[in-house]
Amino acid sequence: ATPTKRSYNITLLPGDGIGPEIISISKDVLQLAASLEGIEIKYQEMPVGGSAFDLAGVPLPEETLAAAKQSDAVLLGAIGGYKWDKLEKKLKPETGLLQLRAGLDVFANLRPATVLPQLIDCTTLKREVAEGVDLMVVRELTAGIYFGEPRGFGVNEKGEEIGFNTEVYSVSQIDRIARVAFETARKRRGKLCSVDKANVLEASMLWRKRVTDMAADYPDVELSHMYIDNAAMQLIRDPKQFDTILTNNIFGDILSDEASMISGSIGMLPSASIGQSGPGLFEPIHGSAPDIAGQDKANPLATILSAAMLLRYGLGESKAAERIEAAVMETLNRGFRTGDIYSAGNKLVGCNEMGEQVMKSVDSPI
């Protein structure tokens, strides 16, 4: 059967540091995988972060946000660098990224943590603990204590200075992230663990109740609950027990960083941030790595795998996504490694060559 012609617009946001290098090669990989599946993609490249500040005086120009909103998905490199560290807060590159997330209203952050058999020696965990780990953290991104009101500084009844924040979750905020997590678990191994602190926090008690109620809609998903303190421990003790983890903003912030350490290199891990209906934002979890920028040393695989997530979660094009993921595996099997994942006996390559090798595998899988 001839595949139907599907056509999408994608906004590319290279950003700063290694961003332009990893986006350039990831775009080529994305383009090749898409065309092999009969998908047409138009690209629009826009500035964001420090490079946008240099160009336009702000870290997120209006035109950049407008272009991102009008597209079907956004692929971001990385933002930030020493050069802009001393700017006032509202001009900092990082502020541009927060504004972009808010502007796209992406409330669900998906971060896989996988231990690839080819990279088992890169993880700090014991082999028998690390082997076969394949989990996904679904983190709520736009509510909770990072946004809750009231917040601020003040004085208590004893006249002592205080700082305070508020953890708030509404039913609709819980339900929409829970739904993403159940859907994600359903497409994976059908296991969902919701992480909270329902023994202490009211926001968590409501969270647990709503998640438990929603389970009725997903008889095919096996739901469990875990307290955050235990989950932080279990993630190191026996990470294989997890498939999909659902959690709130602050717990997810910590757990997803913890999970990323299990898998060995920060240069391997993609992420997706998705909203209700608008375009999703896809980016590697690592930063702009200014120490190696412009030297063709960066590992492009986190961004290439982010492009795969873009295809799967952003466009619903799973077959093209699988092509990319399989090509990454094959490239590792063929022994190609950037510096961050290099071990003796492998072939050390730069960012560009790594991407070229992935393209070779996309083109003619073994």
User: Which of ligand ATP, Mg ion, none has residue 304 at its interface (CB below 5 to 8 Å by kind)?
Assistant: none
Q: Which of 340, 349, 355, 358 binds ligand ATP (CB under 6 A)?
A: 340
User: Which of ligand ATP, Mg ion, none has residue 291 at its interface (CB below 5 to 8 Å by kind)?
Assistant: ligand ATP
The DSSP-derived string for 52-103 is HHHHHSSSS-HHHHHHHHHSSEEEEEE---GGGTTS-GGGSHHHHHHHHHHH
Residue 80 CB, shortest distance to Mg ion, in Å, is 5
286 in contact with ligand ATP (CB under 6 A): yes
Residue 228 CB, shortest distance to ligand ATP, in Å, is 22
289 in contact with ligand ATP (CB under 6 A): yes
Rg (CA), the chain: 21
253 in contact with ligand ATP (CB under 6 A): no
Residue 96 CB, shortest distance to ligand ATP, in Å, is 12
Would you call the peptide bond into 150 cis, given omega within 30 degrees of 0 as the criterion? Answer: yes
Q: Which is nearer to ligand ATP, 244 or 271 (CB)?
A: 271
Q: Which is nearer to ligand ATP, 230 or 343 (CB)?
A: 343
Per-residue burial over 330-363, b if 16 or more Cβ lie within 10 Å, else e, is bbbeeebbbbbbbeeeeeebbbebbbbbbbbbbe
Q: Which is nearer to ligand ATP, 15 or 278 (CB)?
A: 15
Give long-range contacts, CB 8 A cutoff, 24+ apart: 197-203.
197/227, 197/228, 197/229, 197/251, 198/225, 198/227, 199/227, 201/167, 203/144, 203/167, 203/168, 203/169, 203/248
- In angstroms, the CA 123 to CA 260 distance is 10
Q: Which is nearer to ligand ATP, 23 or 192 (CB)?
A: 23
Instruction: Kindly give the residue spans of alpha helices, DSSP state H, lying in the chain.
Output: 19-36, 50-56, 62-70, 93-104, 127-130, 171-187, 202-214, 228-237, 249-262, 301-309, 318-333, 351-363
User: Which active-site residues does the annotation give?
Assistant: 146, 197, 229, 253, 257
Q: Which is nearer to ligand ATP, 317 or 340 (CB)?
A: 340
Among 67, 68, 74, 70, which residue's Cα sits nearest to residue 30? 74
User: Which of ligand ATP, Mg ion, none has residue 341 at its interface (CB below 5 to 8 Å by kind)?
Assistant: none
Among 270, 251, 256, 272, which residue's Cα sits nearest to residue 143? 251
Q: Which of 77, 287, 314, 355 binds Mg ion (CB under 5 A)?
A: 287
> Of 258-277, which residues contact ligand ATP (CB under 6 A)?
266-267
Stretch that binds Mg ion, among 44-52, 196-204, 283-291, 328-336 (CB under 5 A): 283-291
Stretch that binds ligand ATP, among 25-33, 82-90, 122-130, 281-289 (CB under 6 A): 281-289
User: Which of ligand ATP, Mg ion, none has residue 280 at its interface (CB below 5 to 8 Å by kind)?
Assistant: none
Residue 344 CB, shortest distance to ligand ATP, in Å, is 18
Question: Considering CB under 5 A, how many residues would be counted as binding Mg ion?
Answer: 1
- In angstroms, the CA 141 to CA 251 distance is 11
- In angstroms, the CA 37 to CA 235 distance is 37
Residue 140 CB, shortest distance to ligand ATP, in Å, is 19
Q: Which is nearer to Mg ion, 275 or 287 (CB)?
A: 287
287 in contact with ligand ATP (CB under 6 A): yes
Length of the chain: 366
User: Which of ligand ATP, Mg ion, none has residue 289 at its interface (CB below 5 to 8 Å by kind)?
Assistant: ligand ATP
Instruction: Please state the separation of Cα 360 from the chain's center in Å.
Output: 25
Among 272, 273, 277, 257, which residue's Cα sits nearest to residue 302? 272
State both tokens at 324.
Answer: 């990319």
Residue 262 CB, shortest distance to ligand ATP, in Å, is 16
State both tokens at 335.
Answer: 């022994």
Residue 50 CB, shortest distance to ligand ATP, in Å, is 11
Point out which residues bind Mg ion (CB under 5 A): 287
Point out which residues bind ligand ATP (CB under 6 A): 80, 266-267, 286-289, 291-292, 298-299, 302, 340
